[in-house]
Amino acid sequence: MNTLKTVLLMTLMTLLLVALGGAIGGQGGATFALVMAGVMNFGSYWFSDRIVIAMYRGQEVHSGPLYEVVAELCQRNGLPMPRVYILPQSTPNAFATGRNPEHAVVAATEGILQILSRDELMGVMAHELAHVQNRDILIGSIAATIAGAISWLAHMAQWALIFGGGRDDEDSNPLAIIGMMILAPIAAMLVQMAISRSREYQADATGAQYCGNPLSLANALRKLEAANRRLPMPQVNEATAHMFIVNPLKGNGIATLFSTHPPMEERIRRLESMVLG
């Protein structure tokens, strides 16, 4: 069901992109929008690991507690060994990136090593390895780039209307273009949020199987959520926030309704139910 839901949501996001391009420039605009999305996806597919690791100044490690936990999980579950990085951040968090399981990266902050037990750390890294094996890295990159393309096109439409550009045929409707400018980015954000939430639940379930104890991940998530509320990660690029195991952006109240991460209480409840059921 998660896979089917993701396919449907990705199709909806692509249709949004084409519709916005068509509203701005007709058939030519729709074609341009698709080509642009393809180029952006190609770049994110091949270079996402280098870009994100450089963004957070990650340092590759070949030994130590984090490396040993990842190596043990890979050996136990027959998974390809990814490259392992530590980020010089005191806020505890972790993410995975890379184009496929054979070219993947898992990363954790220095802060996560200070507050989690070894079993809890194993649960977190099992979650990240699950993202790698479930191809969530690719899905998330495509969703992010299409959403970015939609936002860019909406911005271009604004300037086209201001300077009298855009479509000038009889079927052109400035009100329809304005409506698409406003609604398409919002819809894209909601679709991207739904995709990310669905994949997080799946990674929790798969990660719990990899580490062998759902409660290890549940306890780690509880600690990470509390720590990120007390000390949000500074200078987070919003385009990468969905990659982290817990939301690194400070938010409460209505802001949490638009988070790319599902409610932490529900994630923990599902993990605990795996033990009870």
- Planar angle of CA 217, 223, 225, nearest 5 degrees: 100
200 is in an annotated binding site: yes
What stretches of the chain show up as alpha helix (H) in DSSP? 2-55, 65-77, 110-115, 118-133, 136-162, 174-211, 214-230, 264-276
Are 262 and 197 a contacting pair, CB within 8 Å?
Answer: yes
Q: Which of 68, 72, 120, 128 is catalytic?
A: 128
Are 122 and 216 a contacting pair, CB within 8 Å?
Answer: yes
131 is in an annotated binding site: yes
Are 199 and 134 a contacting pair, CB within 8 Å?
Answer: yes
CA distance 105 to 159: 39
Verify whether residue 128 is a known catalytic residue.
Answer: yes
Q: Which residue has the tokens 């201001």?
A: 162
103 is in an annotated binding site: no
User: What is the SS3 assignment for 32?
Assistant: helix
DSSP letter at 134? T
Q: Give me the active site residues, please.
A: 128
Known binding-site positions for Zn(2+): 127, 131, 200
Annotated binding site: 127, 131, 200
